[in-house]
Structure 1
């Protein structure tokens, strides 16, 4: 007799409380092996595959693609026992999202007609609300949703969730808040005019609504927090990058792996941070301390189809230009394919933002909380420039530095930016750090 086991969305770590189903990798009736990825989900950090800890036959899926589920919500049920592949009836215990499990996924196959089918609930279309056991899963409300409702005085008992089995999702709470706000505005308007409100001819708020969730939502939350908590200031300078471009061309003409411009800028950043360590820090307001960090974990902005992400190059200060080039290329490709892990998107101490690739000259970067600074680099374009006492056409770039004014004053920030500009104009200055 087959035993039906329910697999729920596991704790994804990094403080994440929910995820969106992007793509199912198995169907009802498929045979799965222990640790085989069964669903692709998008969290606020990355796009990841979730492996199932059970081996057997998939009897039900919970949630269509695009559904947002909290941690602990049912994902699927698996019948283990006679219908399961031999040796796969035990769970692996790897219920966290795995990045490379110990066993390779088995080839997917379906139960053929005539084979004994395990007695279990069957859900062919993955519709929310399906139950995996006779008693059904207990509805789960994530701590994030509980806190959001509590802070805004909403009674969750009076709400009907749109998630599987009536789960109340963040979108449900936010919708209720918007509705309450709209009603409040209508009441205030009616009281002010003391006249009946006219019957609307069209529904208010029409237009395209794009949910702020997943990576895009996480970026929105982080940028908003940065603006709320960090007293930032920005300084900028134009620099003649002609010699830097010539130095890069000479490096690449010498043979070996090509060196990217981003890698050279990163090398300049790490040298500047060694001179001005105040900018490689974070602020602990509870302890009222500025924490200067020993390692430079350099984040860099990467635009993807799913929005802006900031992969992190670990120990950038210990890498040369060739190693930095290789790591930038690896992380950029992972960002484009959506395969970055949460660990590759967190822990940065300083960010380099090369917005010049978008064809713009300057910007005022928003600091990537909880870091203390971000260096922005505009496009490098030929401009008239006074060089050795004469006007000449030179390759000019605008550099901008946004910094947390709590960690340093303008003198330190200006010194950092001036050193970066000096290295751009005279790459030989970097020889002092080798």
Structure 2
């Protein structure tokens, strides 16, 4: 028998350490060659580690949430074969015996005390009470299953308002007072993996970047009509949402505002303005917010953008996004879709200097000359790094995007 030490390899990206997100094995498990053993996180990418040998796991490096340095022991496996070199054998001799994992604490949900038993009432003790109520009130009470003899009237007879009060505050016929819902047990959730990365990145962004936000209302009535016409004749192309059209407008406006398509290295004091638009797409996943990147968005048409948005979103949500697809963005677009709200103030994806957030489209009446007509309106938000972007530049950029969206033919004009 021999002891094989599997050390965390250099996963790339110039990282010095990675976080244990989860183990696929435990001490004592038999593993085969190339079997997945652990998920490790670097920046925003999760990488699956596979064992290069077969054998029995005798030691794991740590618990989920712990950081492991590149080159340090990740797992030790007892393999079949001759003993290893003396130095490695000596190292193996110092391996402590596996420690059994402590059982997870059991969360016991607090139960409300059992209600006191209601004393039995003898049949001869029941006194029938005359109830005064209109036929409509009686019909409603019957429909709701309310015993009118249990309802206390606010006057000489029972009204609909008395039924409402009984439903809210009464305790008969299975009704509970308003606000008394099933109580959940308290739970402590360890912040690890993707959620910890998001927390660290958002805290660093708000701590280091003086944000300011600007919101403008845009009439997208004509744009929505054009989108419907494009979808009606799309053939086998992917269905268009608002996002591909918005990206085209952003890419057309950016050459006049290069200070927005940039990254700021505040330690070196250098702002890099990019010619190509590598657009980050904030995407909600079960693990948290991820930002896959559309490379060279300025060179893609609306159909290509729609297909790439779908592909990257699916890859992020299924955990199949590659490391290079989750880094290198120069500007980020974040959208909550139908939950977009009236206005948002998104947090900048550091070290970028701007982030754009379209909001929900709402149909409202507007004036067209002397007439009032329905229009589809959308607020467009932008947050910028005030150290390198002036308010005038941010507002002027949004106005340029607004002109393109309100006159959609300009999106396709040379």
SS in 1 for 2:259: helix
Task: Identify the residue that residue 213 of structure 1 maps to in structure 2.
Answer: 192
8 Å Cα contact 2:212/2:385 also seen in 1: yes
Q: Does the residue aligned with 2:22 lie in a helix, a strand or coil?
A: strand
- Given the two structures, how large is their TM-score scaled by the length of structure 1? 0.66
Structure 1: 4+ residue segments shifted above 4 A: 25-29, 79-83
* 2-structure distance, mates of 1:61, 1:288: 45
1:256 aligns with 2:215: no
CA-atom RMSD in angstroms: 3.1
Which whole-Å CA distance do the structure 2 matches of 1:340 and 1:222 have between them?
Answer: 19
CA distance in 2, matches of 1:10, 1:366: 33
CA deviation map 1:279-330 (0-9, x unaligned)? 0012233443332112211011111121111111111112211121111111
CA distance in 2, matches of 1:17, 1:377: 36
* Aligned counterparts, 1:71-86, within 5 A: 71=69, 72-80=71-79, 82=81
2:20 is aligned to: 20
For 1:39, what is the secondary structure of its paired residue? strand
Choose from 106, 124, 136 the match for 2:95. 136
Task: From the superposition, tell whether residues 3 and 358 of structure 1 become closer, same or farther in structure 2 (CA, over 3 Å).
Answer: same
Contact 2:354 2:383 in 1 (8 A): yes
- Are 2:36 and 2:48, in contact at CA under 8 Å, matched by a contact in 1? yes
CA distance in 1, matches of 2:321, 2:27: 25
The within-5 A match list for 1:164-313 is 208-254=187-233, 255-257=235-237, 258-313=239-294
Task: Provide the secondary structure at the position in 2 that maps to 1:279.
Answer: coil
Contact 1:240/1:396 (<8 A) preserved: yes
Query: Which whole-Å deviations, capped at 9, do the CAs of 1:322-352 have from their partners, x for residues lacking one?
Result: 1211111111112212222332222111011
**1:8–1:388 Cα change, 3 Å:** farther
Measure the CA separation in 2 of the matches of 1:3 and 1:251. 65
Residue aligning to 2:123: none
Cα offset, 1:277, TM superposition: 1.3
Residue number among 351, 357, 377 corresponding to 2:358 in the alignment: 377
Change (3 A) 1:20 1:387: farther
Provide the C-alpha distance between the structure 1 equivalents of 2:267 and 2:18, rounded to a whole number of angstroms: 28
Query: 2: CA distance between counterparts of 1:287 and 1:42?
Result: 27
- 1:144: which partner in 2? none
Considering only CA atoms, is the larger Rg found in Structure 1 or Structure 2? 2
Alignment correspondent of 2:377: 396
Specify whether residues 389 and 280 from structure 1 end up closer, same or farther in structure 2 by C-alpha distance, changes over 3 A only: farther
> How many residues matched?
320
Separation in structure 1 between the aligned mates of residue 50 and residue 325 of structure 2, nearest angstrom: 20
Residues in 2 aligned to 1:75 and 1:249: alpha-carbon distance in whole angstroms: 54
Name the CA distance, whole Å, in 1 between partners of 2:223 and 2:287.
33
- 1:298/1:352 contact within 8 Å kept: yes
Contact between 1:58 and 1:76, CA under 8 Å: does it hold in 2?
no
Q: CA separation in 2, counterparts of 1:288 and 1:242? A: 43
Aligned with 1:4: secondary structure? strand
Partners of 1:5 and 1:79 within 8 A in 2: yes
SS of residue in 1 equivalent to 2:329: coil
Cα distance in 2 between the residues matched to 1:407 and 1:262: 27
Structure 1 counterpart SS, 2:364? strand
